[in-house]
């Protein structure tokens, strides 16, 4: 029962669509009708409002971290389930007919909360690839793949299986991006058109 509570509570917290809420509150329109239609920070950036995109990124990270930390405080031992629930909630929110984001920011939040060395590795890989290539999707996917490896290397191998599963989910949700990367047509941040 505790495992189910941890999973469901984290899912519900992860499913809060901050990108959609912020764009609606500020008059930027329905995020689902803009760009890729996703509810994450990268799509919020397509509205031209960098502050909103930054706020979405931070809030999506925060909800992932909060899910893990709350479960750690009240149901210790189920943090990995909370991590999975929060990312699944963001990617498949029940409120939006299971059409959400791609999980990159929320996965960073849960990685930080599970163990700071994992989160730090995630952040460094994400930023290094993002600034090196200016391709948001490549940065996010690289960071997701780095997380389970970091868990093993830094002594948190118990979190590696769930992080590996979440990395596979992130790659699956980026399959269209992977196709564009292979074709050389994936857009770069700051590029026109």
Find where tokens 């990268």 sit: 42
More confident residue, 178 or 191: 178
Determine contact, residues 116/98, Cβ cutoff 8 Å.
no
pLDDT score for 31: 73
Task: For residues 21-39, give the mean pLDDT.
Answer: 77
Alpha helices, DSSP H, located in 115-159: 116-133, 136-153
Helix then strand then coil, in percent of the chain rounded to 5, is 75, 0, 25
pLDDT digits (tens, 9 = 90+) for 126-146: 999 999 999 989 999 999 999
Determine contact, residues 90/64, Cβ cutoff 8 Å.
yes
pLDDT higher than 90, residue 62: yes
């Amino acid at each position: 029962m505790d495992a189910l509570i941890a999973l469901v509570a984290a899912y519900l917290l992860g499913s809060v669509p901050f990108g959609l809420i912020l764009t609606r509150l500020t008059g930027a329109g329905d995020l689902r009708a803009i760009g890729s239609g996703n509810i994450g920070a990268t799509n919020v950036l397509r509205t031209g409002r960098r502050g909103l995109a930054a706020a979405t990124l931070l809030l999506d990270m925060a909800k992932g971290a909060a899910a893990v930390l709350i479960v750690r405080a009240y149901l210790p031992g189920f943090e990995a389930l909370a991590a999975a629930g929060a990312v699944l909630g963001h990617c498949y929110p029940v409120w939006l007919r299971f059409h959400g984001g791609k999980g990159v920011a929320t996965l960073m939040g849960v990685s930080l909360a599970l163990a700071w060395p994992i989160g730090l590795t995630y952040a460094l890989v994400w930023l290094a690839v993002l600034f090196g290539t200016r391709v948001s999707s490549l940065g996010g996917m690289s960071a997701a793949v780095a997380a389970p490896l970091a868990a093993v290397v830094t002594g948190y191998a118990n979190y590696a299986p769930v992080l590996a599963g979440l990395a596979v989910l992130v790659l699956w949700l980026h399959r269209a991006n992977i196709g564009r990367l292979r074709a050389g047509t994936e857009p770069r941040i700051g590029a026109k058109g």
